[in-house]
Every structure is written in C-alpha cells, then in structure tokens.
C-alpha cells in the first residue's frame, strides 16, 4: 500500500480527533460566537488585535465586542477544521486514482461529501447564532467524520485472516443495536450541550428538582429566537433533557456492556477479547466521569474529557463491530 496514503489517513484521523476536542472546548467555554462572522473573525483571517483592526471590527459589528480569548478558541478550531478539509481532499485524490484497494472508494467519497456538509453546518452555527438543532447536527457530523476516518484505519491496519479463527457466535443484531444505542446517547449529550442543560440537573443519581421533570416539556423546542447563546428553553425543559441523557446513559452502559461481555466470554481470539475488554473499561470510566462532573459542578476540563471519552467509545465500539462484521462476511464467502 502507498505509504503516503497511510500517513495521510493517520494524520487525518488525528486531526479529526483534535477538531472534535476543539469543538467541544469551544462549546464548553461559551466561545461559539467568539467570532460573529464566518469563515474569518470580524472580517479578518486572524483575531483583530491592533487599534486599527479593533476599530474596523467595532464599525463592522457594532453589536459585538472582541473577546480575544474566545475568538482565538473559535479560530483555532476553524484552522484545524480547514486543514482537515484539505487532508480529506488528498484522500479523495488517492481513492479516485484507484491507488488504494484496501479501503472501499465509497467510504472516502462519503467522507468528502460529509466534510462539505460539515463546513456548511459550521457556517450556520455562527450565522444562526448557535441554533441548537444546528449545533447538535454539527457535533454529530464531527463524530461521523471521526467514525469514517477510523474505518479507513481499520481497513488499513487490521491484519487480514489473523482474527478469522473460530469466530464467536455473536448475534449481528446485538452489535447493530449496541451501536444505535451509543449514537443516540451521543446525540442526547449533544442536545444537552446545545441547550446549555448540564447545570440544570444537579444531584446524583437523579436531579434534585426531579418533580419538575415532564415528558411534555421535552417537546418545547428552541426555535424562533434571534440568539440561542446560553440557551433559551425553560428550566424544567432543560432539566428533563439532562435527565433523559442520564437515563439513556444507563441503557447504553447495560447494552454495550452485555455486548462486550458476550464477545469476551465467547471468543478465544486475543484481538476480539482485548477490544471487548477495552470497551467495558471505557464504559465504566465514562460512567464515573459523568458522576464526577455533576459532583464537582461541571468543571470544563473533566467535561471535555467526558466528551472525548464518548468519541473513544465510538471508535472502540465501531472497531468491535468491524471485526465481527468482517468475520461474518468471510464466513459467508
């Protein structure tokens, strides 16, 4: 295989993980509108800092005040995202020139299309002033790009035939259900973040004001506002959103835990057993982090780690599914 393609794939995956981390930090530090325009910042390619630049920014955006710290967070996120776009174009070049047989071409084409859509969502996130549906879509787009690039790595680095010995009889539907449950939990986490709902549910294991929980309030949608920064939904709706996220977290841990345990106890292959063990350890750590965040009143760094652990769980779960799906394909042949 072309070594340049391997390096490009690995770097792209690493940059994507950085973009996901920077996006999470941007949300957590309330820097989503650090730059009120797109793709620049107050009309500049960098954050304005000279007297003339600040004057020009004030004239162009009279309702905004330059906050250098937030603006730089947002711009660094954009720089990394733009770099990722260029890297994916490089991957598409390799795919279309048919220089890579190990990775399905449609996977790279889908990745390129998604990068274009993600760029559009990034623009709308700013121009629509952090509309929660757009913010959550942007978050899911980032996770999906990470998943697709991880799949590229799986195809490149998973040694053929090595793990295709006495495959465990794992129900295919269990693997698929587990992935769906995890994706829904990530989406719920994104919905919590997009609506600034985390601090509205304190106390463990349930919210202190649980009597305010209402299924009906969940249908109170954040629409029709000029600006959505810091959230616009009423307290009880945000509490309910957060509580649903917690309940589904339990469902996620149980579902993925059962799946991983089934693989662990029914497989004799080291690669599968190690992956399943890693998934179980990740689930326990993620559950602990969630509880710690609430106990410590939502510190940014631990919350950021919680976000990144969700990305890691997605990658590990996807790899476990990939191994099992690959086995099933080989068996059928």
Tell me if the bond preceding 39 is cis, omega within 30° of 0: yes
Q: How confident is the model at residue 330, as a pLDDT?
A: 46
Does residue 100 carry a pLDDT above 80? no
At residue 166 the predicted structure's pLDDT band, cuts being 50, 70 and 90, is very low
Report H helices in the chain.
Answer: 3-28, 51-60, 68-96, 105-127, 132-157, 172-194, 235-266, 270-295, 300-332
Mean predicted confidence (pLDDT) in 4-10: 94
Does residue 267 carry a pLDDT above 80? yes
Mean predicted confidence (pLDDT) in 167-179: 78
Task: Report how far residue 67's alpha carbon sits from residue 51's, in angstroms, rounded to the nearest whole number.
Answer: 14
Q: How confident is the model at residue 333, as a pLDDT?
A: 41
Q: How confident is the model at residue 153, as a pLDDT?
A: 95
Q: How confident is the model at residue 317, as a pLDDT?
A: 97
Q: What is the pLDDT of residues 42-57, one digit of tens each?
A: 999 999 999 999 999 9
Does residue 159 carry a pLDDT above 80? no
Cβ-contact 320, 275 below 8 angstroms: yes
Q: How confident is the model at residue 165, as a pLDDT?
A: 46
Compute the mean pLDDT over every residue in the chain, rounded to the nearest whole number: 92
Alpha carbon separation from 24 to 39, 78, 99, 136, 278 (Å, rounded): 19, 13, 35, 11, 23
Does residue 136 carry a pLDDT above 90? yes
Q: How confident is the model at residue 48, as a pLDDT?
A: 95
Does residue 160 carry a pLDDT above 80? no
Q: What is the pLDDT of residues 202-256, one digit of tens each?
A: 999 999 999 999 999 999 999 999 999 999 999 999 999 999 999 999 999 999 9
Q: What is the pLDDT of residues 305-328, one digit of tens each?
A: 999 999 999 999 999 999 888 654
Q: How confident is the model at residue 283, as a pLDDT?
A: 98
Mean predicted confidence (pLDDT) in 105-124: 96
Single out the residue of 54, 47, 42, 117 nearest to residue 77, CA to CA: 47
Mean predicted confidence (pLDDT) in 149-177: 75
Mean predicted confidence (pLDDT) in 158-171: 57
Task: Report how far residue 186's alpha carbon sits from residue 256's, in angstroms, rounded to the nearest whole number.
Answer: 13
Helices 235-266 and 300-332, axial angle in degrees (round to 10): 40
**Rg (alpha carbons) of the chain, rounded to whole number:** 22
Give the whole-number percent of the chain exceeding pLDDT 90: 84
Task: Report how far residue 87's alpha carbon sits from residue 95's, in angstroms, rounded to the nearest whole number.
Answer: 13
At residue 173 the predicted structure's pLDDT band, cuts being 50, 70 and 90, is confident
Q: What sign for the dihedral angle of Cα 206, 212, 215, 218?
A: negative
Q: How confident is the model at residue 331, as a pLDDT?
A: 47
The pTM assigned to this predicted structure is: 0.93
Planar angle of CA 46, 48, 49, nearest 5 degrees: 120
Residues carrying an active site annotation: 74
Q: How confident is the model at residue 2, as a pLDDT?
A: 81
Mean predicted confidence (pLDDT) in 180-199: 96
Q: How confident is the model at residue 170, as a pLDDT?
A: 63
């Amino acid at each position: 295989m072309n070594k340049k393609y391997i390096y490009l794939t690995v770097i792209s995956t690493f940059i994507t993980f950085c973009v996901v981390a920077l996006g999470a930090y941007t949300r957590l530090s309330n820097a989503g509108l650090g730059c009120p325009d797109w793709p620049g910042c107050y009309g500049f390619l960098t954050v304005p800092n000279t007297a003339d630049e600040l004057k020009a920014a004030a004239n162009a955006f009279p309702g905004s005040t330059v906050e250098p710290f937030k603006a730089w967070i947002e711009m660094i996120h954009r720089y990394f995202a733009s770099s990722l776009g260029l890297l994916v174009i490089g991957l598409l070049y390799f795919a279309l020139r048919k220089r890579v047989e190990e990775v399905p071409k449609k996977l790279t084409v889908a990745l390129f299309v998604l990068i274009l859509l993600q760029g559009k969502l990034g623009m709308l996130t700013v121009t629509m002033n952090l509309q929660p549906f757009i913010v959550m879509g942007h978050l899911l787009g980032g996770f999906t790009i990470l998943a697709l690039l991880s799949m590229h790595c799986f195809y490149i680095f998973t040694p053929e035939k090595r793990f295709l010995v006495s495959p465990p009889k794992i129900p295919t539907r269990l693997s698929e259900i587990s992935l769906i449950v995890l994706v829904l939990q990530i989406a719920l986490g994104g919905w919590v973040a997009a609506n600034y709902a985390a601090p509205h549910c304190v106390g463990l294991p349930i919210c202190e004001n649980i009597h305010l929980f209402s299924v009906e309030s969940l249908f109170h949608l954040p629409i029709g506002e000029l600006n959505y920064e810091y959230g616009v939904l009423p307290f009880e709706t945000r509490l309910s959103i957060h509580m649903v996220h917690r309940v589904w977290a339990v469902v996620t841990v149980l579902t993925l835990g059962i799946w991983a345990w089934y693989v662990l106890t029914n497989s004799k292959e080291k690669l599968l057993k190690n992956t399943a063990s890693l998934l179980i350890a990740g689930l326990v750590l993620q559950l602990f982090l969630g509880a710690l965040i609430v106990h410590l009143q939502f510190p940014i760094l631990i919350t950021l780690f919680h976000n990144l652990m969700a990305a890691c769980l997605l990658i590990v779960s996807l790899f476990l599914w990939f191994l099992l799906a690959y086995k099933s394909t080989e068996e059928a042949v």
